[in-house]
Structure 1
Amino acid sequence: MKLHSLYLKNFRGYREEVINFSENMNVIIGKNDIGKSTLMEALEIFFNGENKDALVKPEIEDCNVNSTEKVMEIGACFTFEEEEITIIDSSNPTSLKEEYLLNKDGLLEIRKVWDCSKDKITASSLKVYLVAHYPKGIDKPLITLKQEELRKELRTIADKIDDYDLINKNKNAEMRKALYKHLVNEDTEFETRFIEIQKIDKDSKNIWDKIKSNLPLYFLFQSDRTNSDNDSEVQNPLKIATKKALAEMEDQLSHIVEEVDKKVSAIAEDTINKLKDFNGEIANRLKTNLNLKSWDSLFSFQLESDDGIPLNKRGSGIRRLILLSYFRAEAERIAEEKNNKNIIYAIEEPETSQHPNFQRMIIDSLLKISSDDKHQVIITTHTPEIAKMVDLDSLIFISKDEYGPQIVRKEEEKLKGIVRSLGILPTIESKVVICVEGENDINFLRNINQAIDDFKDIIDLEKSNITMIGMKGSNLVNWVNRNYLRNSNVIEFHLYDNDREDYRKTIEEIKANRDGRRFGELTSKREMENYIPPELIEEEFGINLDLEKMDWDNIDVPKVLVSKGVMQHIKCPKKREEAIKERLNGQLSKKIRKEHLIYSNSYEEIKSWFEQIADLCDKNWYEQFLQTPHHSLK
C-alpha cells in the first residue's frame, strides 16, 4: 500500500490543499517558513498522532486562524494491490471495494476531522471517516447496519429476490452482498459519502484496527533537535527497527493476543456469573474489554559510546551521521531481503550539518530505498544538488500568496519556481552535447565506448569534454540543460531510437534545417537493447531466445523478458520492465565485444556515431581557434 495524496483543510497555514506524492521518492522545496515541515507533521499526526510517543500531536493552535469554522481536517488516499485489499468482516470475508467503501478513484481515502471549538483537543474531538463513492438511494450505508437491521431490509424486498431463502441471515456480509446486488445496477448514480468509522457495525470486527494494520508505517526525522537523554535522532532508527521486526511477527503476536483474551475473558465470565449470586443488576452491566498497549512500547534500545560520552551529547553532525549510516545500511538490507511491510521515511533537510560528499551518499541511499516496492521517501531540502538528482515527478514545490501556502501544479511554473528558488544553473560546460532519450541510452553509449577499443580510439567519452543529456522526462538538471540548449550556440548530436514517431520527426527536421548546430541520427534497430547480443542475455538470465532471434532487430526486448519471467521479484510489470532496461544497458552492455557487433551487422553503424561526434568536437575546436584574436588566418 502506498501513500497517494494528502488532504489538508484549515490546518495551520493551509486553508484547503491536496498534495500528490510519487510512490517512490518525493522532494519538497520552498522558502523557509512556507509550509514544508507542516506537510511532514500533518502526516505524522495522521499516522501516529493518537500514539503516546508521537513526535507531533494535534493541538488547538493547529487550526487555521482565518477559518470561520473551527474544524480542521487531515486526510490521506492510498493505492494498493488487489491482494492488499483490507478484509473487514471476519464472519464472512469481504473487501472495501465490494462494500463500496473506496473513493471515486478507487482509492482508500481516510479523513480525520478534529473539532477545535473547545479549549483543547481531546480524544473525543476526533472523528475518523472513510470517504466513499457510494450508491445513491441507500439512506444509511449498509456497513453501518446491525444484523437485525439488515434482516429487516432484506425482508422488505424478499419477494423481489429469487434466492431469498438461500441467503444466510446470520452472516452480515452475505446479507449486504444480496442487498447491493438488488439495489445497485448499471443505471445507479453514485455520490461522495463520509462514513464515520465509529458508526460501522461492530459485528464487522474492528474495521479501523484492520485498516490501520494495512497502512504503511510512517517515520518522521525532524531537522530541529534538542539534546535530551533520549534524543529521537539517535533513538528513531532503533525504534524503526523494533516496529519493523514486530510488524513481520504480526501473525504470531495476534495469536498471542487472541489466546490471552480468550483465557482472561473465560475467567472474567466465571467471575461475573458468581457475582450474579450477590447482585445480578451489577453483573449484567459488566463485560471484559481488552486494552492492549502498543507492542513496541515494551522495547527500548540505546546506542552507547565506549568513551562514556552519550551519543546525544555529541555534535549535530555526528548525530546526523548515525541517521546517514542507518539509511545506508537499510538500503543494502532492502536489496537483499524481501520486505512485507510498507514504510514511509520522512526526513527534513537530510543535508543538515553534512559535508557535500555525505549529502550525496545519503541521497543515493534514500534513492535506493525508495526504488523498493514497499518503501516511499519524502524529504525537504534547500540544496540544489539534491533536487537535481531526482525525477521531475518527484518534485513538490510550495509557493505562498495572501491566502497562504499552496502547491504549484503546472509543470512549467513548478520547475521554473524550483530553479529560481534553489539557484540551479545548467551543468553543460562543453560545446558539444550528445542528446539521447534517457539515462539507459547514456549508459549504453558510455559502456560500449569503453568496452571496445576501436570506439574509444575514435573518441573517449570518459576523457573528452562532452555532456550527455536525456531528452525524455528524467531529472531536474536535464530539464534545465534542455532549456539552456534552446538559446545557446552549443553543438548538439541527437541519437534516438527509431521506435518513436516524435523522435523520427525530430531527426528529419534537424537534417532538413542543416543549421550547422544540430545534427542527428536514428538507430537502425528498434532500441539500444536490440544491439545487445541475445546470447549475452540468455547467459545473464538463464533463458532461451531462439524464437526471438529470428527478428531480433525489431522486437521489444524488455517486454519479451518480462513475458519470460525475468526479475519476477518485482511485482509491478512497468517497474520490472524499467529494471530490466537498466540492467541491460547498465551492466550487460559492458560485456559486448567487437565480434558480437560484427556478427549482428552493427559494428559499422555504431562506429559511425562516434566518428560523427569526434568530427563535431574537432570542428568546434577549429572554429573557436579561428576566432581567437591571436590567430592570423581570416
Structure 2
Amino acid sequence: MKLVKLKLKNFRGYNEAEVNFQKDINCLIGRNDVGKSTILDALDIFFNDAKIEPSDCNRNAESKTIEISALFEVSGGNQIILDTTNPTSLQEEYLLNEDGLLEIKKEFLATGKTITASNIKVYIVSYHPETSEKPLITYKVNELKALLKEKKDEIENYEGINKLKKAELRKALFINSLNMNSEFKETPIKVSDIQEGGLNTWIKIKEHLPVFQVFQSDRNNSDEDKEIQDPIKAITKEVIGELEHQLNDIRNQVVNKVEAIGKQTLEKLKELDPQIANELKTIPELKNWDSVFKFKLDTDNEIPLNKRGSGVRRLILLSYFRAQAEKASFLDKGIIYAIEEPETSQHPNYQKMIVKSLLELSQKDNSQVLITTHTPEIAQMVAKESLILISKNQETGLPEIISDESARISEIIDTLGILPTIHAGMVICVEGSNDIDFLKNINSIFKDIIDFNECNISLYELGGSKLIDFINQNHFKESNIKEFHIYDGDIEKYKELVMSLNDDRRFGVTTKYREMENYIPIHIIEDYFDCDLQKFKEEWDTFNVPKYLADTQWLNRIPDYKKREKAIKGALNSRLAGRITKEALVQHNVYEEVEGWFKKIKEIYDTTVKKVEV
C-alpha cells in the first residue's frame, strides 16, 4: 500500500486540510511554525498511536472531535483478514471509497482532560451499495444466513454456498442484490462494528498498512535520545517485519488459549451466577510487537553516545538511511520514512549525502519518504510535484496547503531564495539525461570542432521535473543565453517546436533517425548484448531499439520491465555510445548529420557573450 492523501479536521492549527502525497519522495516546505511538523505528528498519531491530547483540538472548532484520515492506494488483489473465517479483498467487500482508495478515519473525542482509548473511534470510509439496512461486513453469521434465506428462491446455487464462511455469504448477497440501478453512497463503517471472533480488527488492518517511522529534529540529549533510539526502533521494526508471520502465529495461539480458558471459566461462573457470566467476555488488548523490544547503542571508548555532538548523533540517521537505500526492500507492506530537517547540524556535504540517500530509498517499490526542510539545496533536488507548500492564510492566520502550481512554485522560490544554476553562455537543450550522456560521449569524436570540457556550455534536459529545472528554464528564457535544441525525430510536436526556435538566440534540429539510440551502429549493440539485429538493418532508422532490447534482453537480470528498459537505455547512451568511432559513424551513414550538429553548436557558441569576453 502507498499513502496518497492525509485529511485533517480540527487538529491543532488546521481547521480542515488535505495533503496529497507522491508515491516516492515528498518535501514539506514552509516558514517556521507554519504547520509542517503537525503533518508528521498527525501521521505518527495515525500509524503509531503517538500521544494526542485535548489541547491538540483546534481552539475554534465547533465540534471537539479531531479527525485524522489516511488514504491508501491498494493493489487489485489486496487481501485483508477482517474476520477469522477467511480472507477477502477490499474491493469484493466494497470497502474502498469512491476513488477506489482505502480510506481510514480516526476520530478523537477531545472533551475531557485526556484522550483515552475509549475516546477513539476508527472508521473505514467506503463507497457502499445500499442493499441492506447496514453494511454487510457488520452482520453476524446468523444474520447473514437469515438474509440469504430470504432470497433463497432467487439464488440459483443456494445449496452450494458455504454458509459457514461470512465472506462467502456476503459475496452471494452482493451478487444477488446488485444491478445497474443500485445506489451507492459514502458510508463510514466503524471498525468495532465489524463482527468477528478472535483478534482486534484494527490491529488486523494495521498489519497491512505501511510502517511509519518519524525522525524529529528536536534533541532531548538524554540516555534515550530520539535521534539514537529512532533508527534502532526502525531496525527493530525491520526485523519484526521479517518475522511477523511467525510472531502473529504465536500471538494467535496465546489469544486462542486465553479465550478458551476464559470461556471455561465463564461456564463455571454460570453455574454460580448466570447473570454475571452473561455480562462478561474476554477481549484481548494487544500491543504492537516493536513495543516489546528495546535496544541501546554503546561506544567502545566509554563516551556515552548521547554526549557526542548533535552532528554526530544526526550522522546515525545518515548512516541508517544510506544502509536502507542500498537494500531492495524489507517489508512486503512497505515503510514510510519521515524526517524533519535532515540538514540540521550537518555540513552541506552531509546534507546532500542524506538527501541523495533518501531519494534513492524513495525509488524502492516498498518505500516512501517525507521530509521537511528550510534549505534550498534540498528542495531543488526533488521534482516540483513532490514539493508541498504550507503557508498561513493572510486573513485567518491559519495554515493551508497551497495547491495552485504557479502560486506554489513562486512562493517556494521566494521562501527558500532559490537561484538558477545556469551560468553558462550557452545551453544545449535535449529531452532527457540519456541524450546528454550520448552527446557527451560522441563529442570525443568531434573535439577538433568543439570540446564541451573546455567551453562554457551547459547540457540541459528540458524533460527534467525538479524545481531547479523550472527555475533554470525561466532563467535562460529571460537572459541572453544562446540555446541549441536537439530532439528525437519520431515526435511531431518536437518538429513543430524546432521550427519556432530559429531566431537570433535559439536554434533547433530534430534527428533524422528515430532517436539517439538509432545512431549507435548495429554491430556495437550486437557485441555488447550478444544478439543478432541484422534482420532489422533495413528499418534501423525507425526501429525502436530500447523496446526491442527490453523485450528480449536481461529478463532474468532485471525482472521489472520499466527498470529493465531504463537500465538498457542507460547502457546504450553511456557505455555503448562511448565505443563509437568516426569510422563507425561513417559506415552507419550518419557521420555528416552528427558532424553538422557540432558545427552548428560551434557557430552559436562563438557568438556568445562569454566567448567574446574570453
TM-score range, shorter chain: over 0.9
CA distance in 1, matches of 2:306, 2:599: 59
1:32 paired with 2:20, answer no
- Once the two structures are superposed, the pairs formed by residues 554-573 of structure 1 within 5 Å of their partners are 554-564=542-552, 566=554
* Other structure's SS at 2:501 match: helix
- Residue matched to 2:606: 618
Structure 1 stretch displaced more, 155-164 or 568-577: 568-577
8 Å CA contact 1:495–1:520 kept in 2: the answer is: yes
* Other structure's SS at 2:122 match: strand
Assess, with a 3 A threshold, how the Cα gap between structure 1 residues 77 and 270 changes in structure 2: closer, same or farther. closer
Deviation at 1:197, TM superposition (A): 0.6
8 Å CA contact 1:4–1:77 kept in 2: the answer is: yes
CA distance in 1, matches of 2:558, 2:6: 27
- Residue matched to 1:9: 9
Amino acid at match of 1:246: I
Amino acid at match of 2:386: S
8 Å CA contact 1:88–1:204 kept in 2: the answer is: no
Amino acid at match of 1:186: M
* Other structure's SS at 1:9 match: strand
Amino acid at match of 2:343: E
Amino acid at match of 2:586: I
Deviation at 1:500, TM superposition (A): 2.4
1:529 paired with 2:517, answer yes
Structure 1 stretch displaced more, 130-139 or 276-285: 276-285
- Residue matched to 1:408: 402
Amino acid at match of 2:491: R
1:64 paired with 2:58, answer yes
CA deviations over 1:557-595 (Å, ceiling 9, x no partner) = 444344337467877655654454445435554444445
* Other structure's SS at 1:601 match: coil
- Given the alignment, which residue of 186, 194, 215 partners 2:209? 215
Deviation at 1:282, TM superposition (A): 6.0
- Residue matched to 2:384: 392
Assess, with a 3 A threshold, how the Cα gap between structure 1 residues 255 and 357 changes in structure 2: closer, same or farther. same
CA distance in 2, matches of 1:622, 1:292: 69
- Residue matched to 2:364: 372
CA distance in 1, matches of 2:463, 2:128: 40
Assess, with a 3 A threshold, how the Cα gap between structure 1 residues 348 and 331 changes in structure 2: closer, same or farther. same
- Given the alignment, which residue of 444, 458, 470 partners 1:479? 470
8 Å CA contact 1:4–1:79 kept in 2: the answer is: yes
8 Å CA contact 1:568–1:576 kept in 2: the answer is: no
- Given the alignment, which residue of 602, 611, 622 partners 2:590? 602
- Residue matched to 1:202: 196
* Other structure's SS at 2:452 match: coil
Deviation at 1:279, TM superposition (A): 6.4
Deviation at 1:163, TM superposition (A): 2.2
Assess, with a 3 A threshold, how the Cα gap between structure 1 residues 20 and 142 changes in structure 2: closer, same or farther. same
- Residue matched to 1:631: none
CA distance in 1, matches of 2:524, 2:298: 50
Assess, with a 3 A threshold, how the Cα gap between structure 1 residues 348 and 509 changes in structure 2: closer, same or farther. same
- Residue matched to 1:430: 424
* Other structure's SS at 1:610 match: helix
1:518 paired with 2:506, answer yes
* Other structure's SS at 1:227 match: coil
Assess, with a 3 A threshold, how the Cα gap between structure 1 residues 589 and 539 changes in structure 2: closer, same or farther. same
8 Å CA contact 2:484–2:601 kept in 1: the answer is: yes
Assess, with a 3 A threshold, how the Cα gap between structure 1 residues 63 and 195 changes in structure 2: closer, same or farther. same
Deviation at 1:311, TM superposition (A): 1.2
- Residue matched to 2:291: 297
CA deviations over 1:599-626 (Å, ceiling 9, x no partner) = 433333223222221221122259845x
1:358 paired with 2:350, answer yes
- Residue matched to 1:164: 158
CA distance in 2, matches of 1:218, 1:228: 23
- Residue matched to 1:232: 226
CA distance in 2, matches of 1:236, 1:333: 19
- Given the alignment, which residue of 498, 515, 521 partners 1:507? 498
CA deviations over 1:342-372 (Å, ceiling 9, x no partner) = 1111011101111111111111111111111
Assess, with a 3 A threshold, how the Cα gap between structure 1 residues 412 and 508 changes in structure 2: closer, same or farther. same
8 Å CA contact 2:232–2:295 kept in 1: the answer is: yes
CA distance in 1, matches of 2:200, 2:589: 66
Structure 1 stretch displaced more, 371-380 or 293-302: 293-302
Assess, with a 3 A threshold, how the Cα gap between structure 1 residues 507 and 230 changes in structure 2: closer, same or farther. same
CA deviations over 1:3-24 (Å, ceiling 9, x no partner) = 1111111111111111111111
8 Å CA contact 1:73–1:114 kept in 2: the answer is: yes
Assess, with a 3 A threshold, how the Cα gap between structure 1 residues 544 and 143 changes in structure 2: closer, same or farther. farther
Amino acid at match of 1:318: V
* Other structure's SS at 1:134 match: strand
TM-score, length basis structure 2: 0.92
CA deviations over 1:103-129 (Å, ceiling 9, x no partner) = 111111111111112222111111111
8 Å CA contact 2:241–2:330 kept in 1: the answer is: no
Assess, with a 3 A threshold, how the Cα gap between structure 1 residues 14 and 599 changes in structure 2: closer, same or farther. farther
CA deviations over 1:219-241 (Å, ceiling 9, x no partner) = 10111111011101011111111
CA deviations over 1:134-163 (Å, ceiling 9, x no partner) = 113432000011111112212222222222
TM-score, length basis structure 1: 0.89
Structure 1 stretch displaced more, 340-349 or 546-555: 546-555
8 Å CA contact 1:8–1:14 kept in 2: the answer is: yes
CA distance in 2, matches of 1:81, 1:141: 23
Unaligned runs of 5+ in 2: none
8 Å CA contact 2:105–2:124 kept in 1: the answer is: yes
CA distance in 2, matches of 1:19, 1:122: 27
Structure 1 stretch displaced more, 97-106 or 194-203: 194-203
CA distance in 2, matches of 1:601, 1:458: 20
CA distance in 1, matches of 2:275, 2:400: 59
1:443 paired with 2:430, answer no
- Once the two structures are superposed, the pairs formed by residues 27-176 of structure 1 within 5 Å of their partners are 27-49=27-49, 54=50, 57-176=51-170
Assess, with a 3 A threshold, how the Cα gap between structure 1 residues 516 and 400 changes in structure 2: closer, same or farther. same
Amino acid at match of 2:212: Y
CA distance in 2, matches of 1:552, 1:73: 59
CA distance in 1, matches of 2:584, 2:81: 54
Deviation at 1:445, TM superposition (A): 2.0
8 Å CA contact 1:392–1:476 kept in 2: the answer is: yes
8 Å CA contact 2:238–2:331 kept in 1: the answer is: no
- Residue matched to 2:313: 319
Assess, with a 3 A threshold, how the Cα gap between structure 1 residues 607 and 342 changes in structure 2: closer, same or farther. same
CA distance in 2, matches of 1:583, 1:24: 24
* Other structure's SS at 1:430 match: coil
Deviation at 1:281, TM superposition (A): 6.5
* Other structure's SS at 2:385 match: helix
* Other structure's SS at 2:127 match: strand
Amino acid at match of 2:164: N
8 Å CA contact 1:567–1:580 kept in 2: the answer is: no
Amino acid at match of 1:470: E
Assess, with a 3 A threshold, how the Cα gap between structure 1 residues 159 and 544 changes in structure 2: closer, same or farther. farther
Structure 1 stretch displaced more, 90-99 or 287-296: 287-296
8 Å CA contact 2:83–2:195 kept in 1: the answer is: no
* Other structure's SS at 2:427 match: strand
Amino acid at match of 1:91: T
CA distance in 1, matches of 2:369, 2:184: 35
Unaligned runs of 5+ in 1: 629-634
Amino acid at match of 1:42: A
RMSD of the alignment, in Å? Answer: 2.7
Assess, with a 3 A threshold, how the Cα gap between structure 1 residues 156 and 276 changes in structure 2: closer, same or farther. closer
Structure 1 stretch displaced more, 29-38 or 186-195: 186-195
Assess, with a 3 A threshold, how the Cα gap between structure 1 residues 562 and 312 changes in structure 2: closer, same or farther. same
